[in-house]
Structure 1
Amino acid sequence: MKKVIILITLVFTQISMAQSNESVHLWPNEVPNEKELKQEHELSDDDRNKVIRYSKVTDPDFLVFEPIKANKLRAAVIVCPGGAYNVLSTNLEGSEVAQWLNSLGFTAFVLNYRVPQKQLGALNDIQRAIRMIRKDAEKYNIEPDKIGVLGFSAGGSLVARASTQFTFESYSKIDEVDNLSCRPDFSMLVYPAYLDHGENNSLTPEIKVTKDTPPFFIFGSATDVKYRHSCTVMAAALYENNVPVDVHIIQEGGHGFGLRPGNLAAKMWPQLAEKWLERVLDKI
């Protein structure tokens, strides 16, 4: 009974959030590289650690989180939750992070990209989201050249892919929005995953860093044993191509901590990220 009550509470929390934040769907007609029909996001019954998880997304969208008082930078961040490309941890690594960004005066967008195991579809979704937000920059009171991306775990993988494959047309153009650039202006990875799938744990081959790759912030922990090399191989590739990068790897923290209290890493990364955002946006 207790588990049922918790799940019901999480559902109502998600419904309340959706009602208070505008939902913008990415694809007006058919969804590219999607075999299933559009449907409402499917909620997982896995509610461990009070995390709301979407187990299926076929009609991707983003939720708009506007700050009460915008800062002078007029910048925006698209937040990509993690979940191993199987689910989306939509509150832990989505709405909670968006609200933190709002507290700093940033407009935030939580991207519900396609899952499970639809990596090409997810890339379609983030490219389309960047273009749509860039088109509507005036509506959101942001600068079209100050749109960044922030990803956690698998969401970090997606952010790295979007930040290095912006010249790759991953789907066929459907309207004038797709003529706009899908290059992020800055990129942030927090305990990213799947970036070390090259030979001998080198950089994943599809991630090709060049001098045109946007500046990066990377944060991870040494006790994130399964994924910690993602931080180092990505940082090395950025260094080698003279792309500005701040990389922080602390001893303790593990994986999947988000902003939740009780974890030193969860306390440290937002402080470091805030200072980095101020510096990097001042140069854009």
Structure 2
Amino acid sequence: MRLEKVTLKGNEHVTVTAYLLDHPTQFPNVTRRPAVLVFPGVMTNGGKVLTSQREAECIAMAYLAEGYQAFLLNYSMPAWPVFPGPIDDVQEVMDILYEKSADWEIDTNRIAAVAFSEGAYVAVAQAMTAQRHRPNALILGYPQIPEPEEVRPYNAPVLQEIADEKTPPVFLFSTHEDTGRPAKSCLSLLLALDKVGVPYEIHLFQKGAHGLSLGKSLCSSGMGFYVDANWAKWFELSMHWLTANWGEPFPYEGEFLNAADIGGYNIDTYIRDLAQNPACMAVVTEFWPEYGDAQFVAERMDSTLRFSNVWFPQPLKPDELERLNQRLKAIPLA
């Protein structure tokens, strides 16, 4: 894994930290990765308003463990000025993700904003107003959805009024007991989304304080009321929701097959079956001379060519593997 930190050109008080997984040569199904952009909530410390660490790196790490590239938005207020300043900052971050998508191996069709409390408001505002590079999904934890009279003095948009059909799908989770960010404000946003046909999923837990983050002890600040196993389910639910909307991010195919069961040969046939047919092995050695060594073959009897290819220092390219596959399929079952 590598870490990169970028300071915005438009606002030196805002940075984005990139947590980037390495490219695994033994995982050919992992190419461009989905990504999350994490917006922490805020907290007051000595009169200064800062992002909450409990909704920062621990959230990024959770998605990183699922194979996502993770990006953490670091900001401070009032360094975030009157609107549209915060939206402009987020737009610059999204532009950076697109510009660096090749180097950072990001699938730009699968970028989710994962945002909490006050951070959720800015994430949604950018997703509703951006002329380019909106996120492809919004995951909102106990979001602050202010009423019109609360945002107008700051020239900030009223989310319930600007929702349109281009707004990305929303996964929202909060609690009935969160009096700091009442659930009814969340419902007003969902009604607005429903009106313009934007799909959403909501999990409104009965119990739980504001700021639960992952609901685990590692991000509880040592406070028992921030540990809640039931609330912690939101993360797994969010992963299921993303897959339901985007499909499997790391596609897989192929099983270990018995040649007799399928009536033929291919690159998913057990090598032990291929080894019993000289015609098969003649084709295989055209692509891999190593398979002319009896000991080399013996060590791989319970594997397949597709699986073994992953472990070769210089594996066959996909088109080469497919040519080998077709050649094997043309050989009659011995």
TM-score (norm 1): 0.70
Greater length-normalized contact order (CA 8 Å, ≥ 6 residues apart) = 1
| Bigger radius of gyration among the two | 2
Aligned to 1:274: 239
Q: Is structure 2 residue 119 aligned with structure 1 residue 155?
A: yes
Secondary structure, aligned partner of 1:104: coil
Say which is worse superposed, 274-283 or 100-109, in terms of deviation. 274-283
Deviation at 1:112, TM superposition (A): 1.1
| Cα distance in 2 for residues equivalent to 1:140 and 1:279 | 24
Deviation at 1:277, TM superposition (A): 1.1
**Structure 2 matches for 1:62-77, cutoff 5 A?**
62-67=16-21, 74-77=33-36
Does structure 2 retain, via aligned residues, the 8 Å contact 1:156–1:189? yes
> Residue 263 and residue 214 in structure 1: after superposition, are their counterparts in 2 closer, same or farther (change >3 A)?
same
| Cα distance in 1 for residues equivalent to 2:187 and 2:233 | 18
The match for 1:226 among 160, 180, 190 is 180
| Cα distance in 1 for residues equivalent to 2:157 and 2:18 | 33
The match for 1:185 among 136, 141, 150 is 136
Aligned to 2:62: 100
| Cα distance in 1 for residues equivalent to 2:91 and 2:75 | 11
Root-mean-square deviation (CA, aligned residues, Å) is: 2.6
Deviation at 1:215, TM superposition (A): 0.7
Deviation at 1:241, TM superposition (A): 1.1
* Counterpart residue type for residue 236 of structure 1: L
Secondary structure, aligned partner of 2:91: helix
> Residue 255 and residue 75 in structure 1: after superposition, are their counterparts in 2 closer, same or farther (change >3 A)?
same
Secondary structure, aligned partner of 1:146: strand
| Cα distance in 1 for residues equivalent to 2:119 and 2:60 | 14
Deviation at 1:119, TM superposition (A): 4.8
What 5-or-longer segments of structure 1 have no aligned partner?
1-19, 33-37, 39-57, 168-180
Q: Which runs of 4+ in 1 moved over 3 A?
A: 67-73
Deviation at 1:199, TM superposition (A): 6.3
> Residue 265 and residue 124 in structure 1: after superposition, are their counterparts in 2 closer, same or farther (change >3 A)?
farther
Does structure 1 retain, via aligned residues, the 8 Å contact 2:17–2:73? yes
Q: Is structure 2 residue 96 aligned with structure 1 residue 132?
A: yes
Aligned to 2:51: 88
Deviation at 1:235, TM superposition (A): 1.2
What 5-or-longer segments of structure 2 have no aligned partner?
151-155, 217-226, 250-334
Secondary structure, aligned partner of 2:42: coil
* Number of residue pairs matched by the alignment: 220
